[in-house]
Amino acid sequence: MPLSPGEKLGPYEVVSAIGAGGMGEVYKARDTRLDRFVAVKVLPDHIAKRDDLRAL
C-alpha cells in the first residue's frame, strides 16, 4: 500500500518514503500533534492480519 506525500494516517502526515522490504514500508512523516518528524512503518496485509506477528 504505497503512500503519497501529504497523505494522512491519523495524526501523521507523510513526507516521503524511506524504504521498503519484506516486513513493510517505512515513511518519514510529521506528527501534527507534536510538530516533529517521525518514522511510520506500514505493514503488508499478510502480516497486519496476524495477531501473533504484530505482537513482536
Q: Where are the domains of the chain?
A: 8-54
| Mean pLDDT for all residues in the chain | 92
* Sheet strand arrangement including 12-21: 8-9, 12-21, 24-31, 36-42
Q: Taking residues 20-47, report their average pLDDT.
A: 94
8-state DSSP, 51: H
Q: CA 3, 17, 39, 24 torsion: positive or negative? A: positive
* pLDDT tens sequence across 9-18: 999 999 999 9
Q: Taking residues 16-28, report their average pLDDT.
A: 94
Q: What is the pTM of this model?
A: 0.83
Per 3-state DSSP, the chain is made up of helix, strand and coil in percentages (nearest 5) of 15, 50, 40
Q: How confident is the model at residue 28 (pLDDT cuts 50, 70, 90)?
A: very high
* Locus of grid cell 512523516: 29
